[in-house]
Amino acid sequence: MKTIATISTPIGSGAIGIIRMSGDKALEIAAKMFTTKKLNSFLEATPNYMYYGTISTSTIKDMVLAVYFKAPASYTGEDLVEFQCHGGIRLVEEIFKGCLENGADVADKGEFTKRAFLNGKISLSDAEGIIDMINAESISAINAGYRLSKGGISDKLSQIQDKILYCVSQLEASLDYPDEMEDESKIDCNKELSQDLIDLKNLLNTSNVGGYIKKGISVAIVGIANVGKSSLLNKLLGRERAIVTNIAGTTRDSIEESIEVNGILLKLIDTAGIRETEDVVESIGVERSLEAAKSSDIVVFITESGRELNSEEKGILEKIKDKKFIKVYNKSDKVAPLSNQNDGIVISAKKGEGIDLLKESIVNTFVTNGIDSSSVVITNQRHAEAIRKAINFIEETLKTLDTQPLELTLVDLRNAYFTLGEITGNCATEDIIDNIFAKFCLGK
Ligand SMILES: Nc1nc2c(ncn2[C@@H]2O[C@H](COP(=O)(O)OP(=O)(O)OP(=O)(O)O)[C@@H](O)[C@H]2O)c(=O)[nH]1
Ligand SMILES: [Mg+2]
């Protein structure tokens, strides 16, 4: 396989720039470019040891750090060399070009991690965990990516695959010796597969929560004009982001900002107050408010403490009644809540009262019992799809075990095995693999 090189740090000026090479010739190419007082030649480099020395290309020189990772104990599983230089854009580029001049090829997006997968260092889902960590926008998303990258899902699915394989071999054997084995192995397989089915369904159930952990929760703050939507947004953010006035119709366009609560990203959308209006701009804003309410994961419906809902508000509630929503009674500092206003959260956006409770309530609506940092959660749509398919195949197997010829049942069972293998990568097609690594950034 060719030796590949790439710039692994973002393009731009920075303290340090990193250039990496992976492949059989990595050490040889590095030795042509890098010299250090410590060694006669970099070919004699001790693995995992960092050397300070000079790098020379046909155009530049720099003082850099170089480290050699010997196959298979490297990220890719191949010989790998990393240069750390001063992080100038042109400087990093010239060192990279130097690697190419000396025999390396340009790496594709994600090619280092792809090689790690092809060399058996990581499973496909482990690699997806690494992308998820890079793209994570919240602590919970980082942690979920980490668990995925550390084999959280591949280990579990491999166990299930092993059990399926055991059933396949049992049933195949009973094809050869039908009289002696058939009934016994059917009972055995039925038991094993029923347990697999429960495990897979439990795993699939985590994918709802998993989606919110990864992407965050979108929260539309909706209500009639002047109830304090923008004041609430500002309080949630901890800064004066939206304009607040006592004039009804202050907010005319939706405003989006994010916060993190218990490690989960909340994407907050402050909206224009909903009311009948002649104003063209405002009425477009009102349409957007309703749109935001419809497309959000949850609506915070805000009204005022100490008064009944008016007909406009009842109209809004009617529109969002099929959505998840939390009622909020604002301005409790001004008027105490009515006795029937115990079906929501009483707050004062002005004084900051009830805000933490509201944040917790939003998150708890989606992620019950917090997030167990050790549990395996499905955060990836591809994985959820494959598990769903595998469940169908196993259900089919269980249904047909007693009624159909074993050969037919075995087709479903093998399909269940292959479908789970698409997640871990042990039965993934080239298309699936290429698709996944195309999502990586250059240099990873
Ligand atoms: N006393 C009191 N006044 C509040 C509270 N929250 C908001 N207000 C006041 O209510 C008025 C309207 O607040 P906004 O936050 O602009 O209300 P809004 O719902 O965004 O209004 P529109 O954008 O016009 O739909 C302002 O004068 C705020 O100071 C509160 O908790 N207590
Ligand atoms: Mg407003």
- What confidence tens digit (pLDDT) does each residue in 215-251 have? 999 999 999 999 999 999 999 999 999 999 999 999 9
- Report whether residue 14 contacts ligand 1, using a CB cutoff of 6 Å: no
Quick one: which of 236, 220, 366, 362 has its CA closest to 295?
220
Query: Averaged over 155-162, what is the pLDDT?
Result: 93
Quick one: which of 15, 111, 52, 106 has its CA closest to 440?
111
Lowest mean pLDDT among 301-305, 329-333, 379-383, 403-407: 403-407
pLDDT band at 175 (very low <50, low <70, confident <90, very high): confident
Query: Averaged over 254-260, what is the pLDDT?
Result: 95
What is the distance in A from the centroid of ligand 1 to the CA of 236? 14
Q: Which residue from 231, 255, 330, 355 has its CB within 8 A of the most atoms of ligand 1, so it is best to mutate?
A: 231
- Report whether residue 229 contacts ligand 1, using a CB cutoff of 6 Å: yes
Nearest CA to ligand 1 atom 13: 228
Q: What is the pLDDT of residue 181?
A: 66
Asked if residue 337 has a cis previous peptide bond (ω within 30° of 0), the answer is no
**pLDDT beyond 80 at 375:** no
- pLDDT tens sequence across 8-24: 999 888 999 999 999 99
What is the distance in A from the centroid of ligand 2 to the CA of 242? 7
pLDDT band at 176 (very low <50, low <70, confident <90, very high): confident
How many DSSP H helices and E strands does the chain contain?
A: 14, 13
pLDDT band at 373 (very low <50, low <70, confident <90, very high): low
Domains in the chain, please, with CATH? Answer: 4-107 (3.30.1360.120), 140-212+380-428 (1.20.120.430), 220-366 (3.40.50.300)
**pLDDT beyond 70 at 193:** yes
- How far is Cα 121 from Cα 110, in angstroms, rounded to an integer? 15
Mark the residues whose beta carbon lies below 5 A from ion ligand 2: 229-230, 250-251
- Report whether residue 228 contacts ligand 1, using a CB cutoff of 6 Å: yes
Is the CB of residue 345 less than 8 Å from the CB of residue 328?
Answer: yes
What is the distance in A from the centroid of ligand 2 to the CA of 224? 10
Residues of the chain above pLDDT 90, percent: 77
**pLDDT beyond 80 at 369:** no
pLDDT band at 180 (very low <50, low <70, confident <90, very high): low
CA 339 to chain centre: 43
Query: Averaged over 31-57, what is the pLDDT?
Result: 98
pLDDT band at 1 (very low <50, low <70, confident <90, very high): confident
Segment holding 260, helix H or strand E:
strand 255-261
**pLDDT beyond 60 at 41:** yes
- How far is Cα 116 from Cα 182, in angstroms, rounded to an integer? 42
- pLDDT tens sequence across 64-114: 999 999 999 999 999 999 999 999 999 999 999 999 999 999 999 899 999
Q: What is the mean pLDDT of the chain?
A: 93
Nearest CA to ligand 1 atom 14: 228
Residue with tokens 């006795």: 339
pLDDT band at 434 (very low <50, low <70, confident <90, very high): confident
Q: What is the pLDDT of residue 223?
A: 96
3-state helix, strand, coil in the chain (%, to 5): 50, 20, 35
